[in-house]
Each structure stands twice: as C-alpha cells, then as structure tokens.
Structure 1
Amino acid sequence: MSRTPEEIRRALWENDEELESRARNARAESLVAEAEETGDAPLLIQALFNLVSAYTFSVERDKAFVPFARLLRMWDERAEDFDAYATHRFHWMFKWVSSGMLDQPHIPLASIEKWQAEMEHRYRLAGYSPRAVRSGEFSIASHLGDLERAVRAHDAWLAADRDDMTDCRACELRQEGAWQVRLGDDAEALRLWRPVLEGVHTCLQQPHGVLAESLLPLVRLGRTDEARRSHLRGYRMARDMESMRHAVAAHIEFCALTGNEARGLELLAEQTRHWEPGGDPDTYLSWTACAAVLLRRLTELGHGDQPVPGPPGREWTARELSAHATAEAHATAGRFDARNGTGAVGDRARERMAREPLLDRLPLGLRVPARGPGAPGAPAAPARTPAPRPGGEDGAAAPRADAPPRELLDEARRLSAHGHPTALAAWARLGEAVERTGARLADDERAELLDHCAMELARTDPAAGAERFTAAAELYAGAGRPGEEAACRARAVLASAFAGRPHAEALEAIEPLCARASALHAEGAASTRHATAVLLTRARIRAGLLAEAATGEEAARTADTLDAELAALVAFAAPDRDVPAVCARIAEATESRGRLAAQRGDGERAVELLTEAAALCHAAGRPWDATGAELALARVLTGTGDPARAAAVLTAALEDPERAPVVAAADQARLHLALADARAAEGRAEDESAALLHAAHWADQAGEGDGIGAFARLRLGGSLLALGRWDEAATVLESVLPDLREGHDESDVVQARSWLGQVYSRLDEHRAAAEQFLEAASTAQEWENQYDHALLAHLAADALKNAGTYEQSRRAYARAEELWRSLGDRHGTLRTLRSRAWLASAEGADTDACVEFMQAALREIEEGLGETGDDPEERTRLLLETGHTHRQIAELALAPTDGPPDEEYDDPEQYALNTGGYARALRHTALAATSYLDCGEPGLHLATADHLRAAALELDLAHHDAARSWLARVRDAYPDGTTDPDGTVAERLKAAADLEQRLAR
C-alpha cells in the first residue's frame, strides 16, 4: 500500500534523524522513488535533498552528484517549485558538491574549476556574499599546494561579509585553524579553535572534527592534559559517524605518537568498516596513512608478527597490514597528484606517515584489556623500553649483563650495602653470569648469592624461598659468618610463615634465633645490623599473629607485646644509628610502631612515629625506604582532618629526584591514590582527578591494571562526572567495566553502572542510561539493604521516561515507590510520586490526572508532619518537600506536556502554554512560597524565586498591582546589608528590577 505525501514527509524527517550509514542511504533512495510516484514536485525536491544529505555524510559521497544534478535541472526548469526554504537549501548544497568533487580524484581539475565558477555565478545572481565562494577557492588552492593562490583566497574569504550561505562559525574556525597548522603555527590554530573546543560554536560536525585536529598541536605545545581530554571526548563523539573517518583516523594517529599503541589497536578493531575505500577517497587516504603510522610503530617495537584487525577476508599481522596501509595511502595520494598535476597530496601523506612519537607515554586513564594476542578490540599492550639501571656512586654506568662475574659481584654488594631497590636484580644478573660462565665463587660469596636470590624467590614461592634461605645459612656457617647465618635462618622462618606455617609456631622457632643473635652481638661476633635483622623478623611474625588474633583482649595483648619489642629494638640499635643500615632498621621499627598506633586509633602518636620513621630513612640515605612510612602518614593525616599536610607529604615523595627512578610502579600507584584521597578531602576535584589518572597509569605499569588500576579508573570516572566532563567520564567508565566485572566486588560494578547511567543521561543517551541503571538495580536487588535498589529503580524510571518508553517507565516508578515505602523512606516516596505526575504529563494525561499524583504527595507530607514530633530538622525537610510539590503543580498547570523546569527562576512565559491554568499556577506558587518561608533561612531563596514567578504570571495577565505586590516581597526579603556569599541575592534583585522595567512599559 502506497504511503500518502504526509507519511512520506514524516519518513523523510525520521530518516534525517538516523545515524549515518548505508542503510540510511538506501532508505533515502527508496523515499525518492515513493515521492516521485506522488507527482508532488515539492515533495520530490525534499526527498532529493534528503538523499544528497545522506550521501554527503557517509562514505558514499561520490553518489551525491547525481541527485544534485537532478535538483539543478529541476531548478532551471521550474524554480517556482522551490519554496524559500528549498531555495536556500538548494544553494547551500552547491558547497557540498564543490568540496565533494575536490575529494574525488577521478573528477578532472578543469571540471572542479568550472563548477566553482558556476557556483560563483549562481550566488551572484541570488544576491549572496562571495564569502562561501572564496572559501571554496581556498580549499582548492590549499589542496593543490598553490600557496600564493591559497593566501589570496584565504584573505578574500575572511574579508567578505557573512550571510545565509556562509558555513557555520564552527566549521569556518575548523578550516582556519587547520590552515594555521599547515603553516606551522599550532598556537594560532588552537587560539582560533578555542570557541569550538569550549562549546561556544558547535554544529553536527563540530567540535568532533576540531577535537581530532587539535590532538597533535596540543601535544606539540606540551598541553598534554588538554590533548588527553580532547581524545577522550572526541573519539566518543566521532566513533559512530561514517562521515568522521578522518577524525577517527586522527585519534589513531594520536595514540600511535603518544605511546598508546594498544589503545590505537583497540580503535582499529572497532573501526574495521573504514578499510573499505567507498566513495570518499580523501578520508580513505587519512585512514590508511594514520593506520600506517600505528602499524609501523608496532613493528618497530617488536610486534610485527602480532595478529591485528584489518580488512575482512583474511588474517593480518602488524607488519603485513603496515605494508598494505602504506601502499594504499601512496596509491590514493598518487591518484590525487595525477589529477592535480602537483605532488602536494603525496608529500603531505608521506610526511604524515613518517612522523615519529612525540611522547614515550601519555596516560589516558584507560586500560586495554590483554585477552591474548590480536583479540578483537583487545590487543596485547606492546612492551615499553625498560628504564636503565642505576650506575655507581661516582656516576659510572652499571656493569653490562655480560660483564665478568667478579665485576657483577662488586656491583651487587655495593647496591645491597646502599639498600638500593635494584640490588636484587643485580644479584640475579650475577647468578645468570655464574651459570653461563661456570665461574667459581667462594663459600661466603655463594652464600650471599643464594641468600639474595632467595629474597626474590620468597616473594612468589615462599616455601622454596625458605629452603634456599636455609641452604644459604649453612654456607654462611661454613664460611664462619655467624651473624649472617642467624639473619638468614630468621628469614627462612619468616618465609615459612608466609608459606602457611602457623604464626604461633613460627614465633616459637624465631625466639632461639633472637637469643642467639643477642648473644653473638654481645660477644662481638655479630653486628648490630645482623642482630636487628633477626629482631625485626620476629616483629613481622608477631604482626602476622596480631592479624590473626581472635578476640579483642588477645589482640590488645599481642599489640602491647609487639610495641614493646619494637621499642626495645630501637633502644638496642640506638648507639649505632649513624650506620646507614642500622638507621634503616630503626626506621622500619619506628614505622611499624606508627602503623600500630594508627590501628589503635591513636592518630597523634601515629603521626609522630611515622614522621620520625620517614626522617630516619632519609637520614640513612635511603629515601626510597621512606615511601611506606610517608604513605601511611598521609593516610593518617587525611583521616584525622589534615589533608593539606598529607598532600604535601605525598607530593614531596613523588617529586623526590633520587626516589622517582627506582620506586616500584605499584608504590607509585598507591602514592597517587593516597594523594587523590587527600585532594578529595581538600575539595580540590581537578587535582583529585589528576592523581587518579596517574594512579591508574602506574598500576598498569605494575601489572595491577585490573586491581588497583581498575579501582583508580572507577574513581576517576566518578570524579570526571562530578566535574561535568561527561564525555571523558563515559569513556573511562566504559573502559573499566570489563575489569570490574571480572574480578571486583559487585558493589564496584553497581557504582560504575550507576555513574555511567548518570553520564549517559547528561549526554541525552537515555536508552543507554536506562540499560545501565536497570543492570545495576538487578544486582542490587539481592542486597540486604534495599536503598541502592530503590534509588537505581527510580533512576531507571527517569531514564526510560526521557527515552520515551513510557510503559516501562511506569512499571519502574511503581517498583521504586514500592521499595521506598518498604524502606520507610518518605522522601524517596515523595520524589517518585512527583516523577509519576510528570510521566503522566509526558504521556498526554490531562492536568487533573497529573496533579492527583502531586496531591498524593501532599497527603504523604501531611502524614509525615503529624509524626515529626520534636524533630525540627525533619519538619524543615518536609516543609521544603511541600514547597517543591506545590511549585511543580504550578508548573504542570502551565506546561502540562513539558518536563519539570529547573528549580531556579526562569522566564515563565516559556511555560505559559495553557492560559487556563494560570489561576491554579498562581495559587500553588503562592502556597509553595509560604511553605518555603515556614522553613526559615533554608527556604528564603526558594520563596523569593516563587515570588518572582508569581509576579511574572500576574504581569502576563496584566494584573499590575498584584505583580508589584509580589515584587515588594522580594525586596523586603533582602534589606540593605544582606549577606550574599554566592550572588543569589543580587540575582534575585536583578530579576525583580527587570520585571519592574516590564511593568513600567
């Protein structure tokens, strides 16, 4: 059955709203055929416009010329069939066709120049400014590499007046900035782009394009935070748009040049459709050139044989796809150069493909999950070049791995004596060299090697480490080194405890060793360093016993004993504290006492001890050992209300030049995470976000990306949401969800989905928001406390309403109300009742039906007021709810089909859609104001907002005296001298003055 013209028009409008795709193009083609059958010329014109637009904003741009040629013929034959809107749109599309020709290398240059002249002629006849024509000429000249002509056209373009044919300001600024980048002036480009990046000028294509083009200029200028934000925002905006292939390509290039090759591969896997050349060779050139940069980088990093996602039909390695992308880019550029008679396009492509990395690594706050080589969308992250080993104290370079064993032994001993974090790696290199060369070591040297290798082994296999410690102790004994023997046997006992030996049994085993170490020290056969090593080992075992303590009294006794032993150790070692190794032992014991004080809730004592411990580490010349004490100190300071000092401690630790190269990546992650806590406590949201970003980055470097890193990214997503950076928050939260689902507490998953739902709501992606809220609610419904379930059900209902799925929304609101009532949460119930009123309004119910839900809310409030008794805080909250409810009844009366406006005053004329509701609106506005005033100070500003609303409504009804009366109440509420910390008073008085001016007119 054929559709009516009106049905076809509706279908055309719906197709315009669809995502760019071949499917949309096919529907546009079908609609042209349907429109043609009606014999309605204006309808056919509209359908042809729809088709040209669909083709232009897709990879089938080359097909746009045929329907436009038909429009051109129809215009020339019967211009009267084009109304004012169609006339404007017809001339507007000249620009699309002109630029589209330039992007098609099979169209001769002479034809393009002829079309440009035709456009200029027709614009002149129609009385349009030459600005759009000169812009087109500039595009031609810059494409050809004709600098002199480009400069002339550029100046003429910007000098001409703007009119109805001028590109939107956002697109013009994009083009102006891109030209400045071509000229080498990144700073000027970013100055021009600033209004687009800040949202002052936007359109369907911007800021998507500008965000992509700004990436490398920002990095080159050192503005890496902005570059990161532009990537997180921009890729998400462009990823689903066929016409944004060039922008997606720029994001891949950015990843390749900032050490984010794994992220680049993830984008490549998401966008395999772009390997099809289609009818847009210009953006295909951008795609292949940028892909070539990424794939070349992967090959250079040693991943040339890694499977990667490429054009369908076969499997690809990075090396093979690199060659393919490079060849395609050269071939496409060659077609343009052959058409143009210049080498400009090819030169630009070669320059782009030859670009080298701008940064070793720019943290993005994202993690690409490594699920095996070449897994679609999740390629394994390429390894980075390891940091060099530290040299000797005189600045000489560390020995090579193939150096003679004796040289490696000296280096390992030097690093161990210094307590350097790389010491164990040095002993491992010595072990490899001995095995490789068959070198013979003395018994004491073999003992040292075995001892230090056991330290590394005990981290992953404590039982095997205990055996190796015991073997090393035997060698020490045979070599006549009883102090080292005792310390090594103590380490064997500790390793056995880590391997599962009961701590009580381990403690029994360590006591004789402590007695022997003390005796050896008294005899001069063991140094203080050896004796304190044994005593500290006992403290570590007792700390394990404390963690296992079953009762409060038992735990208290164990804690007392542990503290006493640590204090005794410090006193024992004090005479030799000038010896760096002994000073380090005292520092460790003092740190343990500080942690113990923190566990007992003695924050003041904990701060004192942990501060001392950190200072001792620095005094010992081992700043890296201070990291644990400073981290614990910062956490105590933050918890006891001194986050500024905590932040200072952590910042100093992170910026310590001696420590930074050797602090473990996991410790870096923990320091940044603690710094984020301190910044959050200070209320410094931007700094909190930055700290979380670095915490996630270092966790990835430590291989803890799905643990600490995932937690940091979760918090980062929430921080970005709070900062209003919604596109970034969405990207981060989308990235972290898989890690959270695989190995984290389900509460973290619920939190991520809740935040993601809020972000999607802010981005007007309401269906996606509803999906996240519903998934989260499904998990939370199993929890004992049902508050989160109720809240998520309500949020899901809101999102479903905003998505237009009213029946599902109605069910979700009913479920939320049921949950709030079961919890005894009256305020949640009230919010749900008011939301149900707005849902009814959106569904088209009459005002009375909508208001019935509000009346139910008022009855709930009345019941609550009767139960408040002597609780003034609850009474105030309920009076505020009364005001909110009356205010929303007033809004429903004026705008029954609109959603609730903002709480603050706005021009009431925009809601005056139902003049018959003015009386009801005025009555409930007055009731709202009265309720707010009954609250006292908390309701004052809300009341004056309603006074202004009432004045505006009276003014609309020409009730001037009544309006003046309402305005007088506003002025009376704010006598001279009223404090105004946030500017609300000034805002209210200005609004009153504006209404008084309307009254005067």
Structure 2
Amino acid sequence: MPTAPQNTDELYQALQENDRLPYGRTRTVTAEELVDAAEQFADPVPLIDALLELQEAYTYGSEPRKSPVVFARLLTLFDERPEVFDERLRHTLFWRFKWVANALRSLPEIPLASLRQWLTEMRDRYEKAGVGLQPYYGQAYQLAAHVGEDTALAYELWAGRARTRLSDCEACETCERALYHLAAGDDERALRAWEPVLAGKESCQEEPARSVSYALLPLLRTGRADQARELHLAGYRGCRRNPSMSGEVGRHLEFCALTGNEARGLELLAENRSLFDEVDSPLDLLSFLTGVEVLLQRVEFVGHGELPAAGYAGRSWTVAELRAELGARADHLAARFDARNGTTAHTDRRGARLERAPLLDGLELTLRTRDLDEVAPAAPAARVGTPAARTAAALPDSLPELIIRARELDEQGHPDARACWARLRTLTAARDYTHPEDPAVGPLVRLRADLLADEADRAGEREDFAASAALREEAAGLYEEAGAVGDAALAHACALLAAAEVPAQGAEDEAEATAAALTAAHASMVRLHEETPGLAPYQEARLLRLRVTALALRLQSSGSEEHIAPVLAELDLLDAFATRHGIAGQISGARLMRASTYALSGDLPRAVSEIDASLDWSRAHGPAWHLPRVLGLRGRLRLGLQDARAAHADLTEGLRLAADWPADVVDTSRLHGDLAEACMHLGRPEEALRHLTRSAELDLRRDRRTDAFCTYSNAAQLSLDLGRVEDCIALLDSLLAEPDAAAGELDDRLLAQLCLTRARALHAGDDLKAATAEFVALAAESAGWDDDPGSHAMIAAETAVLLGESGEFERAREVADQALAAHAKAPRYEQLSNCLRELARLQAQRQGAEGLADARAFLADAGRIADAARADAYQARGRSLDTALAYEHGRVNAYAGEYEDAVAALEKALALLGEPGPEQERAAEWAECTRLAGAVEGIYLERPAPALTRLDAAVSRLTALGHTEEAEPLTALAARLREQE
C-alpha cells in the first residue's frame, strides 16, 4: 500500500480495491495494513470492516491460525459496543462463527475439547441472539465426520432442520449431504444430491469447484466418464494455484492418476508447485499431499520414478524422491490429527486413497494428450506409432559392423542410419573408446567427420543454417584429412547450401538476397562437381540432388518463371543419372521434386500427373520411406484442386504408412496438418482438431516450437469455435505454462495471440472477471505495438466492452479512448463501431436516464466512425454501420425512457434498411427494428393503434416473402397489444 488512508473515504476505497485482488499474500498484507490504518479513526465501524476483510483474507488465503485471532477482536468489539453493529455487520459476525469452527478443526494442535467448547460458545451465542440452531448442528455434524465418529445422528440433527439465514449456502450444504452419502459408499445417491451443483444451478465462492473435485471418482465408478472429463476441466480451473483449495487440487491430481493421465498430472503439479509452501492449513495440506502422492505413486509404479517432479522449493526432485518425502510428511500430519481426535480416521482415509486402483486405462482429458514417455527429459522416441526399441534392437553388436552398417544406410538415405549414428556418438564419447583397426572401417578421423555431418543434418532440420554450414565445413576438413575426397566434396556442397539459407541481415529485399545467394551456391556446386574426380555413383547423385535443391529453393524464394526451367533441367540430369545407376531413392526424390516444381509454377494438373506417376513408381520400386511423402504431396495437390475427399484418402494412407518411420523423416507433423485442412473442407472439424493437436505436439518434440505454437493456436481457436470452451482454456493453460512461454521467450505477438484466445474463451465460459483481467493486461501490452496500432485498437475495443459488462464504465471510457486513438492510425471501423454501440447499450441498460449522456457520447463517437467509413468507401462485413447506429440510438433512448427519441431513431433505421427482400439476414434485422419500434410505441408511449398498424403491415410483408420465423415475434407482440386494448 503506497500511502496509508487519511480518512474513512480513502479507507473504504482501499478496502474496495483490495477486495478485487485474488486471495494470497499481497491481499493479506494489504488487509493487515488497512486494519492498522483503521485504528486511528474514532468511529469503530471502519475498524470492524477492516477486520472483517482481514479475516476473509486469512480464511481464503489458507492461514487458519490467524483467522480465529481476528474474530476474537471482532467478538470483543461486539460485546463492548453492540449498538455499532447494524444488521449487516451483525449478520456477518454470526455467520463467521462457522469460519472459526472450520479453522480450529484444521489445526491438529487445537485439542478436541477446545473444538467442542467453541461449538458450545456458538450455540450459546445463537440462542441468546434468537437465531436458529441449524448452522450449529451443521458444524457439530462436520466435527463428527472429521473425527470419524458415527455420524448418523449428527447428520439427522442437522439435515432434518429447516435452514436459517445463517445456514451455509445451498451449494455448500448440498456438498455436505452428498459427501455423507459418498462416505456411506452410495455413489448414485451422492451424485443425485450433487446434481444441482454440478449442473451449475447452485454456486458460491467455493462451489461448484469443491463438489466437482469430490464427484470426479464417483462419476467414473458409475460410468459417467465424459461428464467427469468435462467437470475436471472446468473444476480444476476454479481451484488451481489457490491455497485455500489445495485439497481440491490434490483430488484433481488423483483423478489424473487413476485415468491414465499421469503426464497431465505432472503438468498440473508443476503449475501448483507454490502450494507446497503457501498452504498453512494442516488439514488442507494433508489432503493435497495425499492427492500428489497418489499421482507420484502411480508414475513410479509404471516405471517412471526417475522423471523430474515439481516439489518443495530449494532443490530438484525426481518422482521417487518427492513421493518418499511428502509421504513421510503426510503420514506425520495424519498421525497428528488422529492423536488429537482419538481415532484412526485420517490415516485410514489416506490409506484408502493410496490403495485405489486405476479406474480407466486411458481417458482423453485434454486436447494436448501426452504420455509419460513424451514428457521424459531423454531424447524423443525414434518412432511415432511403433515401438521405440525397433531400430535399437536391429543395431549390430560389433563396433566395426555398426560403423559399416551406418555408412551403408546413410548411402541409401535410410532413416535407420540415425539410430546408428546416435549409438556411435555415445560410444565415441566414452573415455575408454578404442577405434577398431580395420581397413574396412577407416581411421577415427573419418568417423568423427561422419558424426559431424549427422550433427549438421540435425542443425539444418532446426533451421539453424549457420551452425549446419560450420559443422559441414569442419566435417569436410576431416574427410580430406582421412583421404575421403568424395565425402569431403559432399560436405562442402552441403555447407554451400546451408550458408545460402542463412537469412540475409539488413537486406532491403530478403527474397532477392536469398535468391542471389542460392544462385551463387549452385554455381559453386557445379564447379565442385566438375573438379572432384573419382566420385562414387551415390556421391555424384547426391551432388546432383544438392544442385537441384539449390535451384528449387531459389524458385521457392523468388517465384520467378525464369527460375522454373533450370530446376527441371537439373532434375532431368538427376533422374537420368539415378536411373542409369539404379539408385532408387534418388529416382523417387527427383520425381517428387518434379511434381513440386510444377505445383510451384502453378501447373497443378501437370503436377498431379507427375505425382501419380511418381507414386506408381515408388510403390513398385521403393524406397518405402518415400511413400508417405509422395502421398502427402498428392494430398496437398488435390486440396489445391478442391478435391478434399481424395486428398483425405491420400493423406490418411500416408499417415498410416508414416507410422513405420521416424516422424521427422516423413514429416508426420505436416501430414497431420494437411489432414486437418482436408477435414475442415469436408465439414469434419472435430477430426481436424485432433490432427491439429497431433501435428503441433510432434513439432514441439522436434523443437520446432514456433510452428508448434502457431498450430496449437489454430487448434485453440477451432475448439472455441466448436463451443469446447473448457478444452480451449485447458489447452492454452498448458501451452502458456511451457518454460519458454512462461519466461516470455516466445515471439511476443504469438504469445499475445494465445492469451487473446484464452481471454475470449474465458468470456465465452462466463468467467467475466478473469476474462476482463486478461484483456486489460493485453490492452496494456499492445499499447506499445507502434508497428501494429490496428491490433491494439481491436484488443482495446474488446477490453472496453468487457469493462462495460462489469459495470466499470469510467475505465471502459478510458480504454475506448485508447482504441479510438489507435484506430486513427490504423482504422478498424467495424470493430470500433461495434464496441462503442455495445458500450452505449450497456450503460443505458444498467444506468437508465442517469447514464444517457455518457451512452450518447459513445454513440457520437460511433457516428464519427461511420462517417469516416462512408468517406473511405468502407463496406462492413456485417450490418451497415449507419443502420446499426440508428437502431442503437433507438435502443439506448428506450432504456433511458426517452421514448419519442427512440421511435424517431428506429424510424431512421428502418428507412436506412429499406423494405425487406428475400435475404433472411436482412429480413431478420428489419423485423427486429420494427418489433422494437412497435413495443416502444404501443407499450411505453401507450399508442397501440399505430403500433398495431405498423406490426400488422410488417407481418403481412414478411409472410408474403416467406419469412414466417422472423414474423413470429411481431405476431406475438401484436396479440399482446390487442389483449391490452
């Protein structure tokens, strides 16, 4: 708190601002400071309000030891000055007796006798105050359940009584009743009791998140897995990183462990790592630690105890280490509660949770489905869709045989060469490595060159072309030292190509600079080819392939027609040479590139003809690992020809064949991405969503992170478009928790796009507070985008509307002004007009006549935007800006009670619209405008006759045009007006 409040007005303003903060240390410290500030005032009421705020901060900040101390001060003030406690303060005071009971119950150091004594105090106070005792019996039942006593009588004494004003809310009591049935082993009865809460009909600050966490396992046990999945996504979001709901977080982790989602469980544990240190309630901590242990125990059981796990701060943990540590702590906590209570209830309940077997082998919880192998810190699995051990099992045991085998596979371009090189890299790095003295193997320097060449390939795949070029040149030097002239020439040629692909720094025309670099690289390759004697056929074919690649990349960069013929000429040379020497891989590659070249030139029919021939040849002659690539290109070409069904068939077959090979060799990621596009064309968005997420995850595993995040961004937007709001939010939460995203190392615009989609999803999910906070942060960030004011205008406009929905019209006005300023630099006519009209509507609707002036100011701004759009010949994609503005003037004036002005504005809107025609959208807009004019005129201005004339004529016109659905609201309004006559 910058400065202490100097008067009660400042104090209450500070209390209000603090109340907007999330529960946690910042809010609690400020509340403590406000209590100190309140003590300076003579009036005790501000101090009471400050103490109430502080107790709330302690309660929901998981600091139960401090809550009773604050309440004791409040109770003393009540006893000393009962007259200053008005009805509001008195009700709040008596309500919070329950908070203290809950706090004391969560502290094992508080004797059981003291807990019972507090309940007696509560009963005496309630009786003296003349309020019902149902809340007291509710606390007595909860104590019995906590201790592990027979709860039947305590439950009946509570549940059989009528509710009072001091009873817990309906949602909380519903949860307690359901938990009673759950403890008795009756899942179905518990779920029936929970139904109104789980359906969202009853809620409070902790509900439905609390009920959801308990209901997850009963839902699974009764076969409602889909509902459990949906509730997990929504419920987890309601409790994550919240110290006062750490027990709920623990139950979500347990749910992950028992549904085959251990990898998601570890991800959620990392997100909630702070809870290990922030939870000060021993009872909540016991529940949280037990849920974490269920997860870690499961991860260790399936053989991944060595995985890293997010645990207590100050050191790194493996799953096995953390499980042992927190298991000992949780055992100690359970023993303390049992010692206090004189039962074994907490140890028994904890043991029952730890002994539960998985309820499902696998339940797909999120769009980003991963298993433990995929989150392991080791190198990614070599295969996607086949056992990772396939290649390793085939490696020769003999070192000379392994080296020879690696080179043979490399000559063929066979994917299994990679596993050989990886194994050799490990062997040669060992201190005791001894190179075999075998003429067939050659000297160590040649093997080191081979390994450098393989490393250069990996760098090139990461698009780190500068590193790739340097590694190739280093390899070339070692090959020359080993006397391998042909291999040295290949390494030099690869270095030339990689160097040409390094982005040109400071070039005015980057594409032109790249094309020039590739032209020079090709010329150097040709000279190198001509000047290198004694090349083996496979080496010469590779040099020809590199020459083609340089020219093909030049064509791709420039798009120039004059660059097409040179590519085709070089391809003819490569195809003829490879055919003469029977090099199947190069023949297939040449024909694939020829089809790509025709596609780049815009000759899709010729490209399809070439790819068809290439596919036939590859199926007959191989190599097998080329088939997925050939099918992938044919699928893309068919997409270009608008034949989505044929494209889907090709891409599906390509993906099936790709399962036999490493994902990076056949580019499985791209196959999934292209299949997603085909699915969208075929009207199968759910299938498209699965392919998008798989494509993105494969790119992440290959460290193509920008591509991955872009694809995931598209998947998130698609899931939002499909109405899968919680899936969208869960996906984005997972992505934003990735280390580079969390550290701000991701491209700032891409990160902002992810956050923007999340904010829109939060809004769609009716979490207005969270959505508004997200939008406000985005608006502040985008204000600094001097190179993109249009995006800032759009984000600020959406932010202003959300602030208006929250009733914060002053802040909404400020942000709308920012949007207008950015719009002046990069017009966003429709977005700004929509924003301003909506703000006007919201303010008039919320504030009536009092808000009319400000609402009209918003409409005046919208009018200026419409004028500018008209002058700029801008055509709105939706409604005409002028028509929409006139209609909004009518609606705003109607909300404010200015009915004559409302009718006049609506008449203007109808004139701008003109008579309805066959278009349904225009007819619907005209009908709604007519309906509102009729309602204002007939109901509020009490002129039913002209209103009926207007409505009857409109109904006849709409019916004659076939717009019967649009006419129904007008018919209903006319009937209402006739009834009132």
Normalised by the size of structure 1, how large is the TM-score? 0.73
CA shift, 1:79, in A, is 10
> 1: CA distance between counterparts of 2:316 and 2:49?
45
**How big is the alpha-carbon RMSD for the aligned residues of Structure 1 and Structure 2?**
5.8
The residue that corresponds to 1:993 in the other structure is 972
The residue that corresponds to 1:928 in the other structure is 909
The residue that corresponds to 1:710 in the other structure is 709
Q: Which of the residues 88, 97, 106 maps onto 2:109?
A: 106
The residue that corresponds to 1:58 in the other structure is 61
CA contact (8 A) 2:588 2:622 kept: no
> 2: CA distance between counterparts of 1:651 and 1:317?
42
2:755 paired with 1:771: no
CA contact (8 A) 1:754 1:773 kept: no
The residue that corresponds to 1:728 in the other structure is 730
Q: How does 1:158-173 map to 2 (within 5 A)?
A: 167-168=168-169, 170-172=171-173
The residue that corresponds to 1:882 in the other structure is 882
CA contact (8 A) 2:696 2:712 kept: yes
The AA in structure 2 aligned to 1:925 is L
> 2: CA distance between counterparts of 1:568 and 1:510?
17
The residue that corresponds to 1:946 in the other structure is 929
Per-residue CA distance 1:80-116 (angstroms, 9 max, x = gap): 9988767766665555454444323234445656777
> 2: CA distance between counterparts of 1:243 and 1:654?
47
CA contact (8 A) 1:513 1:534 kept: no
Q: How does 1:872-911 map to 2 (within 5 A)?
A: 874=875, 880-894=880-894, 911=895
> 2: CA distance between counterparts of 1:397 and 1:817?
61
Q: Which of the residues 309, 312, 322 maps onto 1:310?
A: 312
CA contact (8 A) 2:385 2:659 kept: no
CA contact (8 A) 1:190 1:214 kept: yes
CA contact (8 A) 2:276 2:311 kept: yes
CA contact (8 A) 1:285 1:333 kept: yes
Say if 1:187 and 1:493 are closer, same or farther in 2 by CA, change over 3 A: farther
CA contact (8 A) 2:544 2:570 kept: no
The AA in structure 1 aligned to 2:930 is H
The residue that corresponds to 2:505 in the other structure is none
The AA in structure 2 aligned to 1:263 is E
The residue that corresponds to 1:207 in the other structure is 208
What SS does the aligned partner of 1:940 have? helix
2:784 paired with 1:782: no
CA shift, 1:941, in A, is 0.7
Per-residue CA distance 1:717-740 (angstroms, 9 max, x = gap): 434454444643662564479549
> 1: CA distance between counterparts of 2:155 and 2:180?
9
> 1: CA distance between counterparts of 2:755 and 2:425?
50
> 1: CA distance between counterparts of 2:186 and 2:395?
46
Q: Which moved more, 1:689-698 or 1:858-867?
A: 858-867
The residue that corresponds to 2:510 in the other structure is none
CA shift, 1:283, in A, is 0.8
Q: Which moved more, 1:766-775 or 1:116-125?
A: 116-125
> 1: CA distance between counterparts of 2:482 and 2:182?
65
CA shift, 1:282, in A, is 0.7
CA contact (8 A) 1:838 1:850 kept: yes
Q: Which of the residues 529, 548, 551 maps onto 1:545?
A: 551
The residue that corresponds to 1:897 in the other structure is none
Per-residue CA distance 1:154-180 (angstroms, 9 max, x = gap): 799878877766654544565566678
CA shift, 1:545, in A, is 2.4
2:535 paired with 1:507: no
Say if 1:274 and 1:429 are closer, same or farther in 2 by CA, change over 3 A: same
CA shift, 1:918, in A, is 1.6
CA shift, 1:336, in A, is 0.7
What SS does the aligned partner of 1:703 have? coil
The AA in structure 2 aligned to 1:960 is P
The AA in structure 2 aligned to 1:636 is L
> 2: CA distance between counterparts of 1:734 and 1:386?
21
CA contact (8 A) 1:536 1:589 kept: no
CA contact (8 A) 2:472 2:492 kept: no
> 2: CA distance between counterparts of 1:417 and 1:185?
67
The AA in structure 2 aligned to 1:597 is Y
The AA in structure 2 aligned to 1:978 is G
CA contact (8 A) 2:297 2:323 kept: yes
CA shift, 1:68, in A, is 6.0
Per-residue CA distance 1:755-790 (angstroms, 9 max, x = gap): 4564566633435413312422422x225xx64454
Per-residue CA distance 1:333-356 (angstroms, 9 max, x = gap): 111111222222123335656889
CA contact (8 A) 1:970 1:992 kept: no
The residue that corresponds to 1:958 in the other structure is 942
> 1: CA distance between counterparts of 2:971 and 2:215?
44
2:414 paired with 1:424: no
CA contact (8 A) 1:15 1:28 kept: no
The residue that corresponds to 1:748 in the other structure is 750
The AA in structure 2 aligned to 1:258 is E
CA contact (8 A) 1:594 1:607 kept: yes
2:697 paired with 1:697: yes
Say if 1:135 and 1:410 are closer, same or farther in 2 by CA, change over 3 A: farther
The residue that corresponds to 1:559 in the other structure is 567
> 2: CA distance between counterparts of 1:232 and 1:761?
16
> 2: CA distance between counterparts of 1:640 and 1:654?
21
Q: How does 1:179-190 map to 2 (within 5 A)?
A: none
Q: How does 1:338-357 map to 2 (within 5 A)?
A: 338-350=339-351
> 2: CA distance between counterparts of 1:253 and 1:294?
6
What SS does the aligned partner of 1:764 have? helix
2:972 paired with 1:968: no
CA contact (8 A) 1:454 1:468 kept: no
CA contact (8 A) 2:219 2:227 kept: yes
> 1: CA distance between counterparts of 2:601 and 2:731?
38
Structure 1's unaligned 5+ residue stretches are 369-379, 475-484, 518-529, 895-910, 980-984
> 1: CA distance between counterparts of 2:17 and 2:29?
13
> 2: CA distance between counterparts of 1:830 and 1:288?
52
> 1: CA distance between counterparts of 2:798 and 2:636?
34
> 1: CA distance between counterparts of 2:602 and 2:229?
41
CA shift, 1:660, in A, is 5.4
What SS does the aligned partner of 2:769 have? coil
CA shift, 1:596, in A, is 1.7
> 1: CA distance between counterparts of 2:745 and 2:73?
60
> 2: CA distance between counterparts of 1:918 and 1:344?
68
CA shift, 1:503, in A, is 2.1
The AA in structure 2 aligned to 1:20 is Y
> 2: CA distance between counterparts of 1:534 and 1:815?
63
CA contact (8 A) 2:955 2:970 kept: no
CA contact (8 A) 1:307 1:315 kept: no
Q: How does 1:62-101 map to 2 (within 5 A)?
A: 62-65=65-68, 93=96, 95-101=98-104
> 2: CA distance between counterparts of 1:442 and 1:360?
51
The AA in structure 2 aligned to 1:791 is M
Say if 1:427 and 1:816 are closer, same or farther in 2 by CA, change over 3 A: closer
CA contact (8 A) 2:594 2:610 kept: yes
Say if 1:228 and 1:392 are closer, same or farther in 2 by CA, change over 3 A: closer
> 1: CA distance between counterparts of 2:525 and 2:31?
76
Say if 1:208 and 1:620 are closer, same or farther in 2 by CA, change over 3 A: farther
Say if 1:224 and 1:27 are closer, same or farther in 2 by CA, change over 3 A: farther
The AA in structure 1 aligned to 2:420 is A
> 1: CA distance between counterparts of 2:640 and 2:672?
16
The residue that corresponds to 2:330 in the other structure is 329
Q: What percent identity do the matched residue pairs reach?
A: 25
The AA in structure 2 aligned to 1:426 is C
Say if 1:34 and 1:328 are closer, same or farther in 2 by CA, change over 3 A: farther
The residue that corresponds to 1:259 in the other structure is 263
CA contact (8 A) 1:635 1:674 kept: yes
Say if 1:673 and 1:167 are closer, same or farther in 2 by CA, change over 3 A: farther
> 2: CA distance between counterparts of 1:427 and 1:18?
55
What SS does the aligned partner of 2:263 have? coil
The AA in structure 1 aligned to 2:892 is L
The residue that corresponds to 1:372 in the other structure is none
Q: Which moved more, 1:293-302 or 1:563-572?
A: 293-302
2:599 paired with 1:598: yes
Per-residue CA distance 1:500-543 (angstroms, 9 max, x = gap): 492223234446999987xxxxxxxxxxxx66x74465134222
